[in-house]
Amino acid sequence: MLWIVLAFNACLLAVEIAGGIAFSSLALLADAAHQASDVAALVIALIAQALVERPGSKRHTYGLLRAEALAAQLNAVLLIGAALWVFIEAAERLSAPGSVDGAGVVALASVALLVNLASALALARMRGRSLNLRGAWLHMAADAAGSAGAVLGGVAVIAFDATRADPIASIVIGVLVVVSAWGLLRDTTTVLLEGAPRGLDLNDLERTLLAMPHVEAVHHLHVWELGTDSPALSVHVVLDGEPSLHDAQARGNELKAMLAERFGIEHATLELECHDCESAISGLHVTPGSDG
């Protein structure tokens, strides 16, 4: 399904660029820039699905999950550059508006609106919990709004000969592009800087760990993302009493199962202790010259 949506949107991107040039419509060119973000989002989603299935290697033990974040970050920077070009061109056309083929803009933008709405509906049915597909769906929904803006701009040109409506519509679409690109840049930077996943409450996570049976204390809690929708965790957990190795492993397995079920954390590394490691280190004394 993703390949079908990608093919339709790639064709639409080429048609909108050609139509924007042919009809002298900056709104169509701005919508094409936003359409490019949709195509990039779909490509990123496809790449992510392929990379998740690839096994790790001795050099890349977690696989190549971060490649998605690198590609998305570059895409976000390029999109912001395209939006800046739209704003500069729109400012020039507002001061000296040219002729615009309103009928051609309306016809082409209407086709784009139908394609974007159909794509958004298809992705809405299959997105599930995937952040990649959810992001692609948001791109499609925003682009549908941009296509609707281009249609309104074309209608204004036909009905009122309002040639300035086209650059105004392009500015609105450019703002949508910047918003989408900024969100993408923010999320990918968080992944690359190993920030905590968005939407994950670390205080709630710590409270939940402390509420588990036989857990006395929790410290050195770290949560980051290996890639989009691939959170990882490491934590030191102090168990009560003096459990055997078998009991400690069983309790660790219970904690990992809880983390996977409640927080979606499949990659969890637990350091199980029967006392706080920091207090043990601070209380350790070594006599110089001893054989111990």
Q: Is residue 111 part of a domain?
A: yes
pLDDT at 93 (0 to 100): 76
Share of the chain above pLDDT 70, in %: 82
3-state secondary structure of 268: strand
Residue labelled with tokens 């990379």: 51
Tens-digit pLDDT profile for residues 104-121 = 878 877 887 888 788 778
Same domain (yes/no): 165, 36:
yes
- Burial state string for 65-92 with b = 16 or more CB within 10 A and e = fewer than 16: bbbbbebbbebbeebbebbeebbebbee
Please check whether residues 125 and 259 belong to one and the same domain: no
- When pLDDT is cut at 50, 70 and 90, the band that residue 292 belongs to is very low
Residue 288, in any domain of the structure: no
Q: Considering the domain boundaries, does residue 197 fall inside one?
A: no
Q: Band the pLDDT of 34: cuts 50, 70, 90.
A: low
Joined tokens for residue 149: 């803006």
H-only helix segments in the chain = 2-22, 26-53, 66-95, 102-126, 131-160, 165-192, 202-211, 245-263, 277-282
If one compares 64 and 247, the residue with the highest pLDDT of the two is 247
Comparing 210 with 125, which gets the higher pLDDT?
210
- 270 and 170 inside one domain: no
* Token digits of residue 263: 């927080």
Considering the entire predicted model, what is its pTM? 0.65
Q: For residues 29 and 118, what is the distance between their CA atoms, to the nearest angstrom?
A: 21
CA 31 to chain centre: 21
pLDDT value for 282: 46
CATH code assigned at 118: 1.20.1510.10
Q: Judge whether residue 279 has pLDDT over 60.
A: no
Predicted confidence (pLDDT) at residue 223 exceeds the cutoff of 90: yes
Number of domains making up the chain: 2
Q: Residue 247: its pLDDT value, please?
A: 93
Q: Point out the least confidently predicted range of 93-102, 134-143, 155-164.
A: 134-143
